[in-house]
Amino acid sequence: MATPKSAVYKILVVDDDPDIVELLEFNLKKEGYLTASAGDGRKALEVAVDFNPDIILLDVMMPHLDGIATCRLLRENPKFKDTYILFLTARAEEFSEVAAFEAGADDFIAKPIKPRALLSRLAALKRRDQDPANAVDAIDINGLRIDRTAFAVYQDGRKITLPKKEFELLAFLAATPHKVFNREELLQNIWGNDVFVLARTVDVHVRKVREKVGDHHIQTIKGVGYKFNVD
């Protein structure tokens, strides 16, 4: 499990449009969040190190360093392994969303941003952190150990680092081996009802998990979905 967060969440807002930054910071501060901001990806990397945010709202199209590249660099830093990263973008094409999740995003929010909807999304993330179900005991299957309390995965004793959503997907499937889940069920249980993402997002995350822990743990049931394989 991720390191417990403090009662006051810190949010870094990254967007090259100062009006959007001002709007978001105004609404976030009203809800009691601590905020910092940056106008491009390069500055965001600098601010993030000092500010240590719990959540990053990250624009995609920015000068100097775009959001996709910024997200990748953030995820390469162990300090931000468990930080929530939510992309803000006016681009609704499928490839943009897939690229965002490939880079390590947790969520994808389309512009124009509705403050109330955004605040609801953030509240859902906080509830997820505080959910006792996230502190279940470790799962040991066929040399694979999934430790929810330490938010860690071990394959035959070797530690494997997984981003938050990949970890949650693996742990969710492993908790009920042999049960087949379709993409919609996985989206609902891993990303939540109030998050709009494409079904292909599940396929992207399954592929990335397989690359790291081996392709025999998660089995594809053609035309149906996925299950955790213990054979």
Per-residue confidence (pLDDT) for residue 130, from 0 to 100: 66
Share of the chain above pLDDT 90, in %: 39
* CA 228 – CA 216 distance, rounded (Å): 9
Per-residue confidence (pLDDT) for residue 8, from 0 to 100: 85
Beta bridge partners of 155: 144, 158
Per-residue confidence (pLDDT) for residue 7, from 0 to 100: 64
Per-residue confidence (pLDDT) for residue 224, from 0 to 100: 85
> Would you tell me how many other CB atoms lie within 10 Å of the CB of residue 89?
21
* CA 226 – CA 183 distance, rounded (Å): 8
Per-residue confidence (pLDDT) for residue 34, from 0 to 100: 96
Up-side HSE of residue 73: CA atoms within 13 Å toward CB? 15
Per-residue confidence (pLDDT) for residue 4, from 0 to 100: 45
Contact 203, 182 (CB under 8 A): no
* CA 205 – CA 162 distance, rounded (Å): 10
